[in-house]
Structure 1
Amino acid sequence: MKASLLTCGVDEAGRGPWAGPVTAAAVILDPKRPIAGLTDSKKLSEAARDRLAPEIRAHALAWAVAEASPEEIDRLNIREATFLAMTRAIAALARAPAHILIDGNALPKNLPAPATAIIKGDLTEPTISAASILAKTHRDAQMKAFCAQHPGYGFSQHKGYGTAAHAEALTRLGPCALHRRSFAPVRVLLAD
């Protein structure tokens, strides 16, 4: 396969939650094995994402998932931590991409290939859609697993996002190791 065909899509999941890592995925799809139904992970049901994720992993030429921890988010800020997770995912690919397509309006620095930022790219570029799905399903599975380690917060339901139930649990239990201390709802509790 020609290197020019190795276009990598990159997207993230988990920028907004109050808890947990920010996760990024990088995917190089095989043009000979198209995958039906790819779109922005937020437009798909959980069942549809869970059906597509194994197909993406099985049919892609290369894929990788990486993250930045809550501590890295607090130290760097969410934007830079997201870029860190993206560069880690790209670096972990088994094949080097010739071009990188990133969902959004900005690019991380020092990427290993030419790159283009595409606003709403997860809706228009199948490689970015695939990355969106892998990042989301990976992070959701992690948050479900964290629920057992940190009972009472409801991570398996809200995945760390700022729901009323999460706010109530945070007030009742205080922050746990997964909480992003630089995010306002957590920071306010720590200041009390």
Structure 2
Amino acid sequence: MSEIQRPLLTCGVDEAGRGPIAGPVIAAAVILDPNNPITGITDSKKLSEKKRNALNLEIREKALCWSIAHCSVEEIDELNILHATMLAMKRAVESLHQRPELVLIDGNRLPKLAVPAEAIIGGDLKEACIGAASILAKVERDRQMLEWHELYPHYNFAKHKAYGTAEHLAALKEHGVSPIHRKSFRPVRDLL
């Protein structure tokens, strides 16, 4: 992780769920406590589910503050996935109970924020606060997909988390479009 000296209240932001064809996009914002370090934080995709879940609990317990926000399927279809992702990130930052001095966002684009912000490509590997946000967002989205799996078990969201796998696309063709499918995404749009 980065050795750059950052302001005390530096917030990391990342998202989960841009690529799937169903469900919301989730963003998390985290301000870590430099006096209460957490080891093992990195890009959520590099961690096992067990390690991710353990770090998720530790981050929620030890961070100075954290927030999770989302954009619904309807908002994604109305705004497009990029704008919905930016809106979810903005909501996450604005929901923090402490105002950050600097916001570091994974990627190459920034939402409109009232505080200084910097986009960092691969930031979830470079900045612990972004890695922490990556973990919170991924765990929350996976949790939500398990809930959707209970409502719509024939899509098997628990397994593929709504990505457009061959299994998911076959289920989509067989069972049609559910209320949580993104109608603006090609495989879904083509069936409508």
TM range (shorter): over 0.9
Aligned equivalents of 1:47 and 1:8: distance in 2?
25
Partner letter of residue 76 of structure 2? I
Aligned equivalents of 1:12 and 1:162: distance in 2?
18
Q: What does residue 189 of structure 1 align with?
A: 191
Cα deviation digits, residues 43-93 of structure 1 (max 9, x gap): 111111011000000000000000001110010000000001001101111
Q: What does residue 109 of structure 2 align with?
A: 106
Deviation at 1:150, TM superposition (A): 1.6
Q: What does residue 136 of structure 1 align with?
A: 138
Q: Are residues 1:26 and 2:32 paired?
A: no
Deviating beyond 4 angstroms after TM superposition, the runs of 4 or more aligned structure 1 residues are none
Partner letter of residue 88 of structure 2? A
Aligned length: 187
Cα deviation digits, residues 160-181 of structure 1 (max 9, x gap): 1011110111000011011000
Q: What does residue 169 of structure 2 align with?
A: 167
Aligned equivalents of 2:128 and 2:67: distance in 1?
16
Aligned equivalents of 2:7 and 2:52: distance in 1?
29
Q: Are residues 1:80 and 2:83 paired?
A: yes
Deviation at 1:4, TM superposition (A): 3.6
Q: What does residue 3 of structure 2 align with?
A: none
Aligned equivalents of 1:47 and 1:163: distance in 2?
23
User: Identity across aligned pairs (percent)?
Assistant: 61
TM-score computed with the length of structure 1 as normaliser? 0.96
Which structure 2 segments of 5+ residues have no match? 1-5
Q: What does residue 92 of structure 1 align with?
A: 95
Aligned equivalents of 1:65 and 1:14: distance in 2?
13
Aligned equivalents of 2:62 and 2:145: distance in 1?
26
TM-score computed with the length of structure 2 as normaliser? 0.96
Deviation at 1:149, TM superposition (A): 1.2
Q: Are residues 1:11 and 2:19 paired?
A: no
Deviation at 1:189, TM superposition (A): 0.6
